[in-house]
Amino acid sequence: MVALRGKEIDAFLARPDPLRPIILLYGPDFGLVRERAEALLASAVDDPNDPFSLVRLDGDELAAEPSRLVDEAMTIPLFGGRRAIRVRAGSRSFAGGIETLTVSPLKDCRVVIEAGELRAESPLRKACERAKTAVAIACYPDGERDLARLIEDELRVSNLRIAPEARATLTSLLGGDRQASRNELRKLALYAHGKGEVTLDDVMAVVADASEMKLDPIVDGAFAGKPELVESEYGKAIIAGTYPGTIISAAQRHAAWLHKSALTLAEGTPLSALLDGGFPRLHFSRKPNVEIALRNFGPERLASIIDQLATAALEMRKQPPLASAIAQRTLLSIAVNAKRRG
């Protein structure tokens, strides 16, 4: 089984194994999935600007014609050179095409598959984890150590230091989506250009307004069984220009945190220890709603909600004009069910 973890992931991404040309990237951090995919694709072709070097395929279309993936991967370019195939997984399985591809002799071709959260029994994940010519890499939200390294890397490029109190606050405002965190750091670096050191005032002026703090009432309201709060705060966020997918991503991360916390509670950890410790730290204003959520939902119900949110995220990408309605309907459904059973 080839499912990379920890330092193995960094080593593989720095120097991909040519004997494992099929790479599955999956997980709730869509920004990290995208960032890793683009890096792997860029290093897989001789000329990134050559449209014949990179083929883009849709997973749902491959489900109807799995052999197309094999045909594309086995194609030899007219003028030679290395090729890459980028596959965006959807709701339909094309694992059959992957299984055939894993036993096919690929030459100068890398296949990178991008997917959302996949369970261990997912056919796509199982196909890649079992094959000797493939790897599966999970992309989860950055932890405290990952964020510290990300902050250092981005600020170093602009020759900036960061004050300790600014670093602590900045860390609490980032995470969840690698691309969003990187964008916020670059915006902060531009704002502090020429100052030498990033201060707490800089962080609060640039990052706090764009952070997910403004989404907390929506997410907390949903899991605490407060549909009226969800409806009013959701409307404010949309009017302010917040993309619905960002709200659903915040709900996914919170659901994952609640699920992990519910499992910890079941093992005997006191609720107070969960609310007062751990990472990310909860703001004191959130604790009452989070406590209600943990009383409303057990691990099994939260696992079901994680699936519900993943389905909503997929439908939003497939139907952009309906994204706002899908997101709102999903969050209200969670809130109503929590209220009924709370």
Q: Give the CATH number for residue 309.
A: 1.20.272.10
Q: 175: closest CA among 241, 259, 250?
A: 250
CATH code, 115: 3.40.50.300
Residues 189 and 281 placed together within one structural domain of the fold = no
Do 187 and 203 share a domain, yes or no? yes
Q: Is 284 exposed, middle or buried (0-12, 13-18, 19+ CB in 10 A)?
A: exposed
7 in the same domain as 130: yes
Do 90 and 193 fall into the same domain? no
Looking at the structure of the chain, the number of domains it has is 3
Distances (CA, A) of 254 to 79, 100, 305, 309: 49, 37, 11, 11
Range of the domain at 72: 3-138
Neighbour tally for 132: CB within 10 Å: 10
Q: Are residues 49 and 36 in the same domain?
A: yes
Considering 141-145, 224-228, 288-292, the range whose residues carry the highest mean pLDDT is: 224-228
Of 191, 210, 229, the residue that ends a domain is 210
pLDDT of residue 135: 94
The helix (H) or strand (E) run that includes residue 251 is helix 244-266
Q: Are 306 and 334 in contact (CB under 8 A)?
A: no
* Residue 211 pLDDT grade (very low, low, confident, very high; cuts 50, 70, 90): very low
At 117-164, the pLDDT tens digits run 888 889 999 999 999 999 999 998 888 888 999 999 999 999 999 999
Same domain, 133 and 221: no
Among residues 138, 168, 194, which one ends one of the domains? 138
Task: Please give the average per-residue pLDDT across 272-287, as a whole number.
Answer: 67
pLDDT tens track for 229-270? 999 999 888 876 777 888 898 899 889 989 988 888 888 877
Average pLDDT over residues 299-320: 90
Best CA proximity match to 247, nearest among 261, 262, 259, 235: 235
Burial, 246: exposed, middle or buried (Cβ in 10 Å; 0-12, 13-18, 19+)?
middle
Residue 243 pLDDT:
78
Among 138, 172, 197, identify where a domain stops: 138
Check whether residue 125 and residue 165 sit in a common domain: no
pLDDT at 306 over 60: yes
Are residues 128 and 234 located together in one domain of the fold? Answer: no
What pLDDT score does 30 carry?
A: 84
Q: Which helix (H) or strand (E) holds 161?
A: strand 161-162
- Amino acid 278: pLDDT: 57
**What's the token pair of residue 61?**
């279309």
User: Cα 271 to the chain's mean position, in Å?
Assistant: 27
